[in-house]
């Protein structure tokens, strides 16, 4: 592959990725008037704390699990070993996602008291933990 073809491939791939990022930013911009009309500043704070909780959960538990598979698949190993690595990692991703979601849902009531000072947002924390469990498996599938 020539340098020109590599550059063209890089630009094409970067362009496709940029479209997805740009679409997300545009959706946020378009929804801004709806957010400002229907949400109070306290609601923004709750949303930010929920987002931060999900981010901390991903950092502490997710640990880039799916991306670690790239290392093992790049090794000079047989197809049988590669399949074994992927299946073991898939089982681990599902197990970790389900366990994190279940433990998080059980602990949502005390976490709501710690994070928000009230139990009013327990259901939203349930949603955060359920989303983490599902997204953990989805990220692994996308990486494999």
Which residue reads 């990692």 in tokens?
A: 89
Give the 3-state secondary structure of residue 120.
Answer: coil
pLDDT tens for residues 84-132? Answer: 888 888 898 889 889 999 999 999 999 999 999 999 999 999 999 999 9
Residue 38 host element (H or E):
helix 3-38
- What Å distances lie between residue 69 and 17, 20, 52, 77, CA to CA? 21, 24, 26, 13
**Confidence check: pLDDT of 64 > 80:** no
Q: What share of the chain is helix, strand, coil (3-state, %, to 5)?
A: 90, 0, 10
């Amino acid at each position: 592959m020539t340098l020109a073809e590599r550059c063209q491939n890089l630009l094409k791939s970067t362009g496709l990725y940029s479209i997805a990022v740009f679409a997300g930013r545009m959706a946020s911009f378009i929804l801004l008037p709806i957010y400002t009309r229907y949400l109070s500043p306290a609601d923004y704070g709750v949303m930010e704390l929920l987002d931060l909780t999900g981010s901390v959960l991903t950092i502490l538990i997710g640990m880039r699990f799916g991306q670690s598979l790239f290392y093992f698949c790049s090794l000079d190993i047989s197809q049988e070993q590669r399949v074994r690595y992927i299946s073991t990692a898939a089982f681990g991703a599902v197990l970790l996602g389900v366990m994190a979601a279940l433990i998080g849902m059980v602990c949502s009531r005390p976490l709501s008291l710690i994070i928000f000072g009230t139990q009013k947002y327990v259901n939203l924390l349930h949603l955060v933990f359920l989303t983490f469990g599902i997204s953990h498996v989805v990220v692994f599938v996308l990486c494999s």
